[in-house]
Amino acid sequence: MSKIHVMSENLANKIAAGEVVERISSVVKELVENSIDANSKTITVDLIDSGTRLIRVSDDGNGMDKDDARLAFQRHATSKLLREDDLFFINTLGFRGEALPSIASVSKVDLKTGQGSVGTHIVIHGGEFITEDMTDARKGTTIEIADLFYNTPARLKYLKSDATELANVTSYIEKLALSNPSISFSLSNNDRRIVFTSGSGVLLKTIHEVYGYSVSSNMIEIKASNDDYDISGYICKPAILKSNRNHMTTIVNGRIVKNVDVNRAINDGYFTFKPDIKYPVVVINIDTDPTLIDVNIHPTKQDIKFSKIDELNNLIKDTIGHALRQSLLVPKIEVKVPEPTYNEISMPFVEEETEHYENTIQTDMDFKEVILPKDENGEDSVRATEEENVLIKKLELYPVGVVLGTYIIAQNQDGMYMIDQHAAQERINYEKVLNSLRENEVHTTSLLVPITIELSSSEYLKIKDNLNVLEELGFKVTEFGINTFLVTEHPTWLIEGRETESVKRIFDIIIEGKYLFDRVKFQDHIAATMACKMSVKGNEAITLEQAENLLDDLVLCDNPYNCPHGRPTIITFTRYELERMFKRVMN
């Protein structure tokens, strides 16, 4: 008797469900993406107990007739691929034909759909058809998924807490709303509205509806293209960085994706504008020829492969860096005044997956419209996508004192400024060293008493293998005995009086090998390290004259807003904000 046999369709669907349906958010993702592909303009997601009891997705899309409604639950049945060549021109979110049969095999499904005439009602339990009849006429689809994993208890017990599952669903609905600003999305749990977007078609307004005014008012619009890619969207100013990557939304041809290379390019665009442990809020649309990408590498379709990835990464990095340099990046300290039309959501979610709730807003009780703050001319203030390019170089700052031995207080006719003396001088020294490293001609000085550096055998071999790097930096190094080097000449930008310490630190950087083969980052690493050592520290007293000289040097920097590690150098209180704090103005 043959040992090999073809498994039943229901068993195959349950196996596929293990790849496609990982958690509540996986089900919501597949159903809502089907609604988007059906050209819906309004999509409503209602959950009961975070979706563990019921997931209901309703839309006003194209709907299905009786035959299509039944066929949709057969494995690999799809309207989105007709022939093999279509795999190279995928323009829909779904195309595999696996999601609905996989979901139906591990849940109880109730489907109502129609195209404007008589509708179709189908009930499926565990992959088995229970009933099929006619229902009310309407255009669109409503699908209910009840008791997910009721027949696969091993999968059921691995669901996270209700709060965590709801946080994941909410995060994905927010990203879908950002990727489709022309569609109105609504998400509720146990009849409590969590997310609502108006479908206005304006991306910045959708960002405001998802993340709130404090984020949307600090966004910068970007737009650029090369021969293969067009990118557009919004990036945040460094004042509103987050502690995880949840707020980095990348959309490729309308599809939300997670790609390590693209995320790295975004972070590289913020190079020296933010600390390494912080991440920006970005919404970036990437449009390209479908033949340059491959979305068919994972059942969830969230990973993607790019052709010409280096060209895309350079475009993203250069565009973000240019946009940040063109905007005034001095953080403003705003006075918090409660807005009567906004209510913050307070939900006990885990910190890692729910940080984005801190700025989430809801509208008035009817949830019909998000009311945008108005500027002096009555226009939506968040539509001003980028501040006027008023560079800090035009600011005339007059130091008046130093507080806590660390912060310089300065003023001008517009308000008060606080400058971190260490961060400011670190930026000045960083650019000074970096410019010296980039010069074609290296200026050096000879030492009357050579510096002796003794190393372990492994460290000695690493330095010996990279003597050319030291030579390019301006060091003259010779071998001197066992595992020892003699430094007889060094570049002029070393810290005066601390040459030995500086040389040892540079040797350590080379031994670490970090960025050694990326000359730009390697030079930056050296410049940042040396700048920190060269700069005045916090709690180190300086005179007003020294403070004035420091401010004069700061405004001449290419990027005077951040230290090399991304911390802000300067913040401001406007005159109006100061007067509001002291109740000199009451509006």
Is the model's pLDDT at 349 over the cut of 50? no
Same domain for 375 and 348: yes
**Residue 366 pLDDT grade (very low, low, confident, very high; cuts 50, 70, 90):** very low
Q: Which two structure tokens, joined as six digits, stand for 93?
A: 């979110």
- Digit-coded pLDDT (tens) for 487-512: 898 888 887 777 888 888 888 888 88
- Whether 190 is in a domain gets the answer no
CATH of the domain at 581: 3.30.1540.20
Q: Please, what is the Cα angle at 269 between 266 and 272, to 5 degrees?
A: 125
Residue 146's pLDDT band (cuts 50, 70, 90): very high
CATH number (domain holding residue 340): 3.30.230.10
One domain, residues 65 and 48 = yes
**Is the pLDDT reported for residue 12 higher than 80?**
no
- pLDDT of 129 > 70? The answer is yes
pLDDT higher than threshold 50 for residue 91:
yes
Beta-strand ranges (E) seen in 237-321 are 248-252, 255-257, 282-288, 293-294, 305-306
Taking residues 362-381, report their average pLDDT: 40
Q: Which of 74-83, 151-160, 516-525, 578-587 has the lowest mean pLDDT?
A: 74-83
Q: Which domain range does residue 137 map to?
A: 9-159
Given a cut of 80, is residue 2 above it in pLDDT?
no
Whole-number pLDDT of residue 230: 93
Indicate whether 238 and 366 sit together in one domain. yes
Q: Are residues 567 and 552 in the same domain?
A: yes
378 and 419 in a common domain: no
In this predicted structure, the answer to whether residue 348 has a pLDDT above a threshold of 60 is: no
Say if residue 344's pLDDT is above 70: no
Residues in Cβ contact with 308 at an 8 Å cutoff, skipping those fewer than 6 apart:
228, 229, 292
18 three-state secondary structure: helix
Strands 305-306 and 570-574: unpaired
Q: Quick one: pLDDT at residue 368? A: 33
pTM of the model: 0.66
Q: Which two tokens stand for residue 347?
A: 């939900």
Mean pLDDT of the 39-68 span: 92
In tens, the pLDDT along 469-492 reads 888 888 899 888 888 899 898 888
At what angle are helices 519-534 and 421-438 packed, to 10 degrees?
A: 140
- For the chain, the first-to-last Cα distance in angstroms comes to 87
**320 shares a domain with 308:** yes
User: Which H or E run includes 230?
Assistant: strand 229-236
Least confident of 47-56, 321-330, 501-510: 321-330
pLDDT of residue 244: 81
Claim to verify: residue 304 and residue 428 sit in the same structural domain:
no
- The mean of the pLDDT values for the chain is 78
Structure confidence at residue 73 (pLDDT): 81
pLDDT at position 472: 85
Confidence of residue 564 (pLDDT cuts 50, 70, 90): confident
CA 26 to chain centre: 21
Render pLDDT for 414-468 as a digit per residue (tens, 0 to 9).
888 898 988 888 888 888 888 888 887 888 888 888 888 888 888 888 888 888 8
Residue scoring higher pLDDT (194 or 306): 194
| 123-127, 347-351, 538-542: range with lowest mean pLDDT | 347-351
pLDDT per residue as tens digits for the range 190-204: 999 999 999 999 999
Query: CA-to-CA distance for 257 and 255, rounded, in angstroms?
Result: 6
Domain count, the chain: 3
Q: What is the pLDDT of residues 169-180, one digit of tens each?
A: 999 999 999 999
> Given 369, 388, 407, which residue is the final one in a domain?
388
Same domain membership, residue 548 and residue 517: yes
Judgement on whether residues 273 and 364 belong to the same structural domain of the protein = yes
> What is the DSSP code string of 123-181?
EEETTEEEEEEEE---EEEEEEEESTTTT-HHHHTTS--HHHHHHHHHHHHHHHHHH-T
Confidence band, pLDDT 50/70/90 cuts, at residue 345: very low
Digit-coded pLDDT (tens) for 245-288: 888 999 988 888 888 889 989 988 888 788 777 889 999 999 98
Q: For the chain, how many residues are written?
A: 587
Among 360, 388, 416, residue at a domain's last position? 388
Residues 389-398: pLDDT tens digits?
A: 345 556 678 8
Looking at 12-21, 377-386, 558-567, which range is the least confident one? 377-386
Which domain CATH number covers 145?
A: 3.30.565.10
Q: Is the pLDDT of residue 84 over 50?
A: no
